[in-house]
Amino acid sequence: MTWIDDQLRADLQNGFIDGSLPAGALGPEILTNRQGNTIFNEIKNELRTCTNFKMAVAFITPAVLVPIKSIMMDLAQKGVGGELLTGTYLQFNSPQVFAELMKIPNLKVRLTGEVGFHQKGYWFDHQDYETLIIGSANLTMDALLKNAEWCLKVSSKHQGAVIQQFAAEFGNQWQAGVQLNAAWLTAYQKGWQAPVLSTASQTSQSDLITPNAMQKAACKRIEALCQAGEKRALVISATGTGKTYLAAFAVQNAQPNRVLVIAHREQLLLKARASFQKIIGGQDQDYGFFTSQQTPGTARYVFATVQTLARHLDQIGPADFDYVIIDEVHHAGAASYQKIINWLQPRFLLGLTATPDRTDDFNVYALFNYQLAYEIRLQEALSERMLCPFQFVGVSDYVWQGQTVSEKTPLKHLIQPERVDWIIKVADYYGHDGDVLHGLIFCSRTKEAQELAALLTQKGYPAQALTGQDSAAKREQAVARLQAGELVYLITVDVFNEGIDIPCVNQVIMLRDTQSAIVFLQQLGRGLRKAVGKQFLTVIDFIGNYQHNYLIPQALTDDHSHQRSRALQTLRAEPTLGISTISFTRLAYERILASVEKAQLTGMSLLKSEFSQLKQRLGRTPLMADFQRAGILDESIFAEKFKTYPRFLQKMGTTVNLNPQTEPVLQFLTEELANGKRQHELILLAMLTKQSTITVADYQAQLHQNGCWVDDATLASVKRVLTLEYYLTKGKIGSRIRYGNQSLIITTGQQIQLHPQIQNYLRDAEFRLFWNDAIETGRLQAEKYDQKQPLTLNQRYTRMDAVKLLNNAQYMVPNGIGGYYFMGETGILFVTYHHSNTRAAIDFDNQFRSRTQLSFYSKTNRTLNSRDAEKLLNPNASLHLFVKNSDEQDQSQFVYLGLCQVMPGSAHEFLQKGTNKPIFGVELLLKHPVDQALYLAWQNERAAHQFHQENS
């Protein structure tokens, strides 16, 4: 009997007999698209780990094939392939679907002729076991990501009856089906008619347009500001989310006497006028343009360019318009804009922009008196389906003579015919929505753009390069040719970063280093505008050995935390945004991973930039809690790099006047409490700040009210921490000295009060500000943790965190804890899964056998008769498991994987290689399976490292 037999038997007992019994990772479960778990992720993870697969699905959409192709490309390199059985039921599957399927070399496809074929089944072979997913989900983005679907996932040995039944049923239909090939597709195309859509989905663009939920909220906020007497307001709205419509709705609500709409290009004004008339209605004479050739007369709604207004301001009175709207207002620092804004005196000025955070010194927030009416970021807009969904795939750039493209690659290598062929091959493999390709390519150099355009044209892909030297007329002509299908690609460096509207774009290719998250999103956004019939955008990022690759996961998720662990989580999880997906091929993943590991995410220039932008937005010096609310710069950065927030402010050039004696107290709050991993101390200090003396009963009531667990051990631990008794090490002052050697509280019987010295410090307004700020920061951070228990599954902790939160009596330095530490019958186990140190890797070769089983080893010179073995093998022991991938990635942070137990009979003793000293090992069984994405990432990164070591 193998381990998999034991695993399956336990999982089936849990799944079908008694749910209270221990379960592993292979038990039956219902898959849904709820609470961040999606059927899409399950199928991706099964695909990535299988040695063979079979799928039978009725309906398929082209969008879902883009991320699937990414996985299939990696599987092909491992010699893994599979079979797909589908059909033509209701003619739902378009000819494009079948054409895209034919591009996947390691996928065999057959078409069933069975009438009413409506199956949805996915089978994956993992050699030791097989997994079957059957239910309601077709191979479409909505079904796998958003719809209310139910699928049953079961695992079995090959000889299991359910697997045999599926194999027989699939085999019969497979044999009866016909092979997908070019001849079949040609015949299908001739007779295919697109399914008739419902009346609701055929709504004409000329029909009445109503505001969506986010536009309604924005308009309501704008109206409230107007009624409150505010003269100006700013709206931040991602490109393509309908800023012009939003402005028209706001005007419709306000009913002003006369409106002026300002943009920086005439083309934008023509579209703005059409949008306004569509929303507001009225006669043509109500709308007018102010240009060098015409004046608006008495038109109620006037549209003008910045250039024209700046030249002819003398023709307009300051109060001629009571409502003024400026589009792309992040340009308002320019002299022409300032001249106009200083001249006009409207009742209300509304600014619209997608990119308020500028790299120059102009503060657009100050221009609008820090009145941010509403903000619609890209990620929110995608989730709300305000934009066209995208399928992003990061692929490896071309490797030429063993060298991958980098910032230093000579131009002649960038335009090698082999690289151009590779670009064409990959772009064709991932494809695009619709029958006609309308593509944008962003590259690193103007000369590269020009040469690439010529080469693509020679190879049958008509392309044109555009540079900053080209006139506006030439650009508009090129865009028109792309829209008409005369060109396949427009190629540029940065011409289309903003201010261009090409809704037909259905493929964006990036052939350059991502040096700015803002520019990355601007270029991505060029293809996100909705268009009639456009279902999705394909984005292909060719990832070379670029030092800024780490910005890709940050940009895609708008992550400003500057935490390495957050970037790694994005990279590993490949998150979805609505029905938009993010995928990376293995080589691209490894290149981004290497960049994330090396990146200086907390360099002073980056921190100063984030500080400056938040200060501009708030109109004041931000506090630490402001950063947490904005999702910028995680609290750990202030604690680890600066010790206190006032020291950070001083580094930013802000004057801070604190009594030096108070700094250790703030250091204690910042390093020990503001991370929010336990908010018991924070709640107590917040209560004592308002009322210097409270009762224990009042404190416990407040803990219960905040959903915190309460027991005697925890209350005793809180007291030791706040009196700093916890930091006394074996009677010595130890680390207590760096926190000022000063108790924060005094307890007398059933009363708790602030120490008189702390009360004295709090009389200083500046100290009180930073004291309250640290407490508030901790309370905000605490929202990430389950306060009903000491530790939260899948959150990150240091060794010192774990020891403290499990109520150890005294502070422990990391070296004193090592790989495990026991407090009575509570054990804390720490595993570094991938050791870069060869000696450590040999000594402690911890391996996950599955998502619920991990090999674990003792410290050196320990036998099964040792005290360590006695504690670890104690059947009553509560063992808490913490794992990190590597020191390089995770530094001192471990992921908490929950409780575990030693597998009976697994303990074994052996001699350590090289030293001949005894060591023992056991198999740990985890109560909770490791998160699938995290488990796969750890396994793949370990395998990749071993491969590189063996082949270096």
Confidence tier at 205 by pLDDT (50, 70, 90): very low
Q: What integer pLDDT is reported at residue 70 of this predicted model?
A: 97
Confidence tier at 385 by pLDDT (50, 70, 90): confident
Can you tell me the distance from the alpha carbon of 611 to that of 605, in angstroms, rounded to the nearest whole number? 10
Confidence tier at 497 by pLDDT (50, 70, 90): low
537-581 confidence digits (pLDDT tens): 999 999 988 889 999 998 898 888 999 888 888 888 888 888 999
760-788 confidence digits (pLDDT tens): 999 999 999 999 999 999 999 999 999 99
Average pLDDT rounded to a whole number, residues 3-8: 81
Pairing of strands 232-237, 372-376: parallel
- What fold characterizes domain 796-950? PUA domain-like (2.30.280)
Can you tell me the distance from the alpha carbon of 667 to that of 644, in angstroms, rounded to the nearest whole number? 5
- 538: which DSSP letter? E
285-341 confidence digits (pLDDT tens): 999 999 877 788 889 999 999 999 999 998 999 999 999 999 999 999 999 999 999
CATH number for 213-376 (one of 3.20.20.70, 2.60.40.1120, 3.40.50.300, 3.20.20.140): it is: 3.40.50.300
Q: Collect contacts of 570-578 with beta carbons under 8 A, ≥24 apart.
A: 571/596, 571/937, 572/933, 572/934, 572/936, 572/937, 573/933, 573/934, 574/44, 574/67, 574/933, 576/38, 576/40, 576/145, 577/379, 577/382, 577/383, 578/145, 578/146, 578/382, 578/383, 578/384, 578/385, 578/389
Q: What integer pLDDT is reported at residue 206 of this predicted model?
A: 46
CATH superfamily of this structure's domain 3-191:
Endonuclease Chain A (3.30.870.10)
Spell out the domain ranges in the chain.
3-191, 213-376, 386-598, 604-784, 796-950
Contacting residues for 737 by C-beta, under 8 A, at least 6 apart? none
Nearest to 373 by CA among 218, 213, 212: 218
Contacting residues for 535 by C-beta, under 8 A, at least 6 apart? 61, 62, 63, 388, 389, 433, 434
CB-based contact 19:95 (threshold 8 Å): no
Can you tell me the distance from the alpha carbon of 261 to that of 248, in angstroms, rounded to the nearest whole number? 10
- What fold characterizes domain 386-598? Rossmann fold (3.40.50)
Q: What residue type is 749 in one-letter code?
A: G
Pairing of strands 581-584, 120-125: unpaired
Average pLDDT rounded to a whole number, residues 441-460: 95
How does the average pLDDT of the chain come out, rounded? 91
> Which sign does the torsion angle of CA 190, 191, 197, 199 carry?
positive
Helices (H), 149-196: 161-176, 182-191
Can you tell me the distance from the alpha carbon of 29 to that of 41, in angstroms, rounded to the nearest whole number? 14
Q: What integer pLDDT is reported at residue 517 of this predicted model?
A: 86
CB-based contact 727:813 (threshold 8 Å): no
The vertex-540 CA angle with 534 and 541, nearest 5°, equals 145
For residue 654, pLDDT over 90 is answered with yes
Can you tell me the distance from the alpha carbon of 869 to that of 559, in angstroms, rounded to the nearest whole number? 44
Average pLDDT rounded to a whole number, residues 844-848: 79
426-443 confidence digits (pLDDT tens): 999 999 999 999 999 999
- 144: which DSSP letter? I
Helices (H), 229-287: 243-254, 266-280
Nearest to 530 by CA among 506, 513, 552: 506
CB-based contact 125:52 (threshold 8 Å): yes
Backbone angles phi, psi at 757, to 5 degrees: -65, -40
For residue 840, pLDDT over 70 is answered with no
Other C-beta atoms within 10 Å of 307: how many?
Answer: 14
217-230 confidence digits (pLDDT tens): 999 999 999 999 99
Confidence tier at 408 by pLDDT (50, 70, 90): confident
For residue 736, pLDDT over 90 is answered with no
Can you tell me the distance from the alpha carbon of 947 to that of 949, in angstroms, rounded to the nearest whole number? 5
Helix, strand, coil distribution of the chain in percent, nearest 5: 45, 20, 40
Q: What integer pLDDT is reported at residue 239 of this predicted model?
A: 82
Structure tokens at 188: 């299908």
- 692: which DSSP letter? S
Nearest to 428 by CA among 105, 86, 55, 108: 105
Can you tell me the distance from the alpha carbon of 411 to that of 455, in angstroms, rounded to the nearest whole number? 14
The vertex-774 CA angle with 639 and 681, nearest 5°, equals 100
Backbone angles phi, psi at 88, to 5 degrees: -125, 25
Structure tokens at 362: 């102009």
For residue 870, pLDDT over 70 is answered with yes
Of 29-33, 99-103, 584-588, highest mean pLDDT: 99-103
Q: State the greatest distance between any 2 C-alpha atoms of the chain, in Å, as a whole number.
A: 98
Distance of CA 188 to the CA centre of its chain: 40
For residue 850, pLDDT over 90 is answered with no
Task: Let me know if the fold of 3-191 is the same as that of 386-598.
Answer: no
Contacting residues for 924 by C-beta, under 8 A, at least 6 apart? 829, 853, 854, 855, 856, 879, 881, 900, 901, 902, 903
Can you tell me the distance from the alpha carbon of 139 to that of 104, in angstroms, rounded to the nearest whole number? 16
Over the range 106-120, which residues count as b (16 or more CB within 10 Å of their CB) and which as e? ebbbbbbeeeebebb
Residue with tokens 């070591």: 949
Residue with tokens 């006037």: 302
CB-based contact 826:877 (threshold 8 Å): yes
Contacting residues for 636 by C-beta, under 8 A, at least 6 apart? 563, 675
pTM flag (> 0.85): yes
